[in-house]
Homo-oligomer: A and B are copies of this chain.
Amino acid sequence: MNVVIVGGGAGGMTAASRIKALKPDWDVKVFEATSFVSHAPCGIPYAIEFDFPSDELMYYRPEVFVRERGIDLHMNSRVVEVKKGKVAVDESGKVNEYEWDRLLIATGASPKIPDVDGKDLENIFTADLPPDADVIRRAAKSAENVAVIGAGYVGIEMAEAFSHLGKSVTVIEMADLPLPNFDPEIGEIVKKEMEGRVNLRLGERLEAFEGRDRVERVVTDRNEYRADIVVVGVGVKPNTELAEQIGVRIGVTGAIEVNRRMETSVENVYAAGDVVETEHMITGRKVWIPLAPPGNRMGYVAGVNMAGGDIEFPGVLGTQITKFHDLQIGKTGLTEREARAEGFDVKTAFITANTKVHYYPGATKTFIKAVKDKETNRILGAQIAGYEMVAMRTNVFAVAIQAQFTTKDLFFSDLVYAPPFTPIWDPVTVSARVLRF
């Protein structure tokens, strides 16, 4: 059997590894357009903050896949055409054709660039592929003023990196609060934390970049800001072009539609990772929330099924976490706004709690916004901000929501307690009590 995988990111390489583990005799080819494999953009802000080279961002080196796992890995090889049973690949200027019995499209997502004047000036960057980390790091060395467009995850992490490096950072966000996919209670906390470190401009719309060759200024509908470099983090779009060539159905979200086995609408064509939409575990609706861990698991599922197995990907909750310096911010399930938009009759709780028993040194405040469905008492979502243990509490909610816990189930969860770690009534438990049973 000939397997072709388009894209050597985390999803593609996970699938390739799985197929070779299950079917060692099969020919598994991976075509990766860059000189990196097994990479993810999530590390780019940290390569800048801690100043390490981009090849560190690969989870595994190419040798691991080639020598240890027996994958026929083609780097710097861009698939230019996908046809029934064949792909055409541009390898160093020469186009070669390869045959496939089963195909995986794992082409990922790419950053959106706002269509404004000056968008092609030098020193305007996005955080996409590992080499972006190197060019941004190099450009940052001589930069004094940095503008970050967007205060979502990428914007916040980039703002941390540059303020850590002592740059003067302006963050420009269209919405009224940073992290606009959170409810405002949490956004306000993030806002306060950011305002202490960067020039945070909320409710401002980007209108243009200005400069001679390089960017010099960012112009908004309200103001203009000096900028020696600009990083744009205003969202991503799925790279569906190759899939469309072969007639794969695109879903309501604009990403590739797949079933739970990661099969597309075209026979023997699978898709996985940031390029596909999936089911939301709560609503059952199709969503496109491109994030690394589900992308990897989708690759795993695609690999098992492509190798003749049978396993289903159950969907996502959109669990995510980020930080801005000391403030950690996590989210799982639906926000109040999202839950209302889905038609739920919701009750919410917003609590402030200490992270430890009062007498143990070093307790800090943590904030939880939790959402339940009034009709069933099911937990629908939680957003947490604080200075420690945000990952822990977000994960407790994530597993509880996956398990369809009611507030009462969550109240009676048998969570850890010891004075160095938590208060006796964990804030999660408190939020369940405040939401009522």
Contact = CB atoms under 8 A, between A and B. Distances in A.
B411 A297 contact: yes
A330 interface: yes
Interface string A368-388: 000000000000000000000
Interface centre among A323, A409, A418 (most CB of B within 10 A): A418
Interface stretch (A97-105, A249-257, A309-317): A309-317
A434 interface: no
Nearest to A59: B424
Interface string A388-407: 01011011101110110100
B402 A413 contact: yes
A322 B400 contact: no
Given A293-B426, A360-B46, A392-B389, A319 B40 contact: no
B357 A416 contact: no
Interface stretch (A50-58, A76-84, A194-202): A50-58
Contacts of A411: 297
B399 A332 contact: no
Contacts of A330: 416
A175 interface: no
A220 interface: no
A296 B311 CA distance: 42
A10 interface: yes
A121 interface: no
B293 A425 contact: yes
B403 A10 contact: no
A75 interface: no
A292 interface: yes
B414 A402 contact: yes
B424 A292 contact: yes
Interface string A299-338: 0000000000001011011111111000010101000000
A415 B293 contact: yes
B414 A332 contact: yes
Contacts of A297: 411-412
Given A320-B418, A330-B416, A416-B321, A359 B293 contact: no
Contact of A399 (B43, B47, B396): B396
A26 interface: no
A343 interface: no
6 contacts: A42-B417, A50-B359, A57-B359, A59-B358, A314-B412, A402-B409
Interface of A: 10, 40, 42-43, 46-47, 50, 52, 56-57, 59, 281, 291-294, 296-297, 311, 313-314, 316-323, 328, 330, 332, 357-361, 389, 391-392, 394-396, 398-400, 402-403, 405, 408-409, 411-422, 424-426, 429, 437
Given A47-B359, A50-B360, A293-B425, 16 more contacts: A43-B359, A46-B359, A52-B359, A56-B359, A57-B359, A59-B357, A59-B358, A293-B414, A297-B411, A317-B414, A320-B418, A328-B421, A332-B416, A391-B421, A395-B415, A400-B403
